[in-house]
Each structure stands twice: as structure tokens, then as C-alpha cells.
Amino acid sequence: MNRMRNWLMGIIVLGISLLLAEIVLFLAASAIPAVAYQISPPWSRNTVPDAVLGYRYSPFYPGHDANGYRNDAAPEQVDILAVGDSLTYGYNAKPADAWPSQLHALTGQTVYNAGVGGYDTPEYEVVINEMIALNPKVVLFGLYLGNDISGAYKSVYMQDRFEELKNKSPKIRAALKTAEKSGTLRARALEQGMAGDAPEPAPDSGAVAWIKAHSALYGLLRSANFAYEAWNKSTKPFRSISDDTFKASSQRPGRVPFLPDSPDRTVFLSPDLTILSVNASDARIEEGLRITKGVLKRLYGKLTSKGIQFIVVLMDHKPYVYEQAGFQLPEHFTPLIAAEKNLKENLEAFLNSQHISYIDTLPSLSESLSQGMNPYSPSDDGHPNAAGYAAIAKTIAKAL
């Protein structure tokens, strides 16, 4: 009887303790943003809304600084400011392997990584205008030819931001509407099964679902595990896919396995889809190119007037790197390669005409690949790996 009473008392004490812990955590979360972040589910806490940019990365995400960027700390002054998308952020690599971090290691100069996945050229301009408060000597504008031009169109027209950047010409507006009627970029992605990489897991139900949705203690434990994964294992922040092998990637819709029996094997996205982002004969890409050129011209004028060196860092699609390294791609990739080459030549001609300095990372990436140091993973991920970011950093360091 006493033993049962002791067990009962222990259960009651444990229950009261857990309840008190829940109350304390909820009260703390209401007053302290960092605590609120820790008990929130990962899928709703990693970004915070922003009226201009759409979103920012959370400053509480492991490896991010107080500004929400991927740095150990937010300094007051830096030598080099690096701005771009996920390729500048260093997706597919640990923080120390992102090219801004490797550039710091090579040059000894302080390099601030202000890359954010999903941002495009209009967002880069906003970030640079904010972060020049760090008084950099050099601003590196990471321009990914794979989707930054189409992304400029997306940010301005599809997401209805940056109203001031929209084209005033009724003729151009009509051409853009006609292009959208023939199939939006997102609709084409859905057609090829590219909108989602993996099926959503079956939702929990009953008591388990309630605990996951409402328990602050559960959120704290989940956060501890999440932080461990982010710091020690994950090179792909915010991504739900866990299987990035060649085999798994090859089986996803809209994928093209390449060189399956070679050490250089990888998986490309369907060229029928990816060409949409680089085809300058499409009115939407032409408009994205116009927007991008305007951004580059304004930034060049503003930064040079302040004595800051402005340099554009050009980064290419994975298939284009393979093609330039001497690999024979399947015949249906030919239009994609031609379209990207045309887009790049157009952009380089503009940069030269405006006397804007730029660094082409294609030779170093293709050389790395041809020498057996594959700068990409064998999966369908188009981001460079640590070796690829090293090649980019070396090219920039040499140019600087």
C-alpha cells in the first residue's frame, strides 16, 4: 500500500513539475523572443516576415548572427561584403565551407556573408543598401545565372513587391501577360512534378498531435535535437529531404541521371524546366534581365561614389559547368546550354559597357571537375559542395 502511495505521489509531483515547467516556458516565451523561437516548430520559425524583402532568416537559427545572416557574429565593420542567394549563403556546405568563409581564410580579410536563399537581384540591392553601414571596402554581388534573372521577374511581378521596378511600357506589360497565359513558370514546374521534392509525411493524430502542437517542453526538446543536427550534421538548412543519394535523386520526377557508372555521376533537373529561367527570348526573362541591369547600374554608381569597389561574381548552372569541362551532355540539353550562354554573353556585354568589374567562376569550377575534384554532389542538388565553394573562393581571392 505504501509503495503504491509513493508511486502515486511521484506521478502527481512529476505532473505538477511538468505543468509548472510548461507555464514558465510559455511566460518566458511571451517576453523573450529567443525562448519563443526555441519552443516554436521548425517549419514556422526559421524565417521572419519582412514588408520589403518578403522574409528574412531568423537571427536565432543556429549559425546565424543578430542580423539573421550566416556569420558567427554581427561586426561593426568588415573588409568585404558578400551578397547573394543560397550559393553565397553556402547551401550544401557547412558554414566554414561557404565561399565567403573560405575567402576569409584565403585572404585574411573580414568577409561578411549576407547571402539568403530565395533572394534575387532586387533583394540584393536592399540588403546592400542596408549593410553598407558596415563600411566595406569591397562589395561582392553573387549573381547566379541559374535563377537570379527569372527571380528578378518573380519578385517584382509574381510576388508584387518592388512596384517601382515594374516596366512602365504598356507594350511590355501586354507581352508579359501573354507569356503568363501560355503557362506560368510555377505551372510548368507543377507539370513536371517539380513543385515538391518529397511527399508530405502523414500527420500525427490524437494525443501525440496535441502534444507536438501545444507542449512547450516538447518544443524545447525538439529544438535541442534540431540544433544538434544543424551544428553537427546538416549542410542543407531548412530542407526536409534526407535522402540525397544519386539513386534517390534519380527517381524523383523531372530528373535526368548523368554518368551513373562514373565517379563524376550526378543528377540534373529536366532541361525543359530549367531553360525557362535562362531563355532570354521569353518576355519574362528579358524583363528580369532589364530589372537586374538596372539594379547593377544603380549599385555601381552608389558604391563607387562612396569609394567602395563593386564586383559582380558570376556563377553558372551545374549542366553548363559540366559542358564547359568537356563532358558530352544528352542532346536535349543543347537548347539549355545555348540559352545560358546567350544570357551570360548579354550580361557580360552590359557589365563591360558600364565598366562594372566582374569575376567569372566558370573556369575554376569546370577545371575542378575536369581534374577529378567534383565541385557538385552526386544528387540533384545544383549547389556546389565544399570543393566547389573552394574553387569559387580561390577565383575571387586571385582576382582581388
Extents of the domains making up the chain: 74-197+241-399
Q: What one-character DSSP code corresponds to residue 326?
A: T
Q: What one-character DSSP code corresponds to residue 95?
A: G
Lowest mean pLDDT among 29-33, 125-129, 162-166: 29-33
What is the model's pLDDT at position 222? 67
pLDDT value at 193 more than 50: no
Q: Given the DSSP bridges, would you call strands 80-84 and 54-57 parallel, antiparallel or unpaired?
A: unpaired
pTM score, two decimals? 0.85
pLDDT value at 229 more than 60: no
What is the model's pLDDT at position 185? 56
Angle at 385 between CA 384 and CA 391, to 5 degrees: 70
Q: Starting at the edge strand that comes first in sequence, how are the strands of the sheet with 309-315 ordered? A: 111-115, 80-84, 138-144, 309-315, 357-360
Q: What one-character DSSP code corresponds to residue 270?
A: P
Helices (H) and strands (E) in the chain, counts: 18, 9
Position 208 confidence tier, pLDDT thresholds 50, 70, 90: low
282 is written with which cell numbers? 521569353
Report residue 83: phi and psi, to 5°: -125, 140
Q: Which residue has the higher pLDDT, 220 or 368?
A: 368
The mean per-residue pLDDT over the stretch 35-47 comes to 70
Distances (CA, A) of 2 to 9, 10, 11, 98, 253: 10, 12, 14, 62, 63
**Cα(5)–Cα(3) distance, integer angstroms:** 5
Q: What is the mean pLDDT of the chain?
A: 86
What is the model's pLDDT at position 9? 77
Cβ partners under 8 Å of residue 274, min gap 6: 146, 268, 317, 319, 336
What is the model's pLDDT at position 192? 44
**Cα(32)–Cα(168) distance, integer angstroms:** 46
Q: Which residue has the higher pLDDT, 334 or 208?
A: 334
The mean per-residue pLDDT over the stretch 294-298 comes to 98
Position 48 confidence tier, pLDDT thresholds 50, 70, 90: confident
Q: 74-197+241-399 belongs to which CATH class?
A: alpha beta
What is the model's pLDDT at position 198? 38
Lowest mean pLDDT among 64-68, 103-107, 135-139, 344-348: 64-68
pLDDT value at 351 more than 80: yes
Share of the chain above pLDDT 70, in %: 80
Q: Which residue has the higher pLDDT, 224 or 315?
A: 315
Contact yes or no for 203/197 (Cβ under 8 A): no
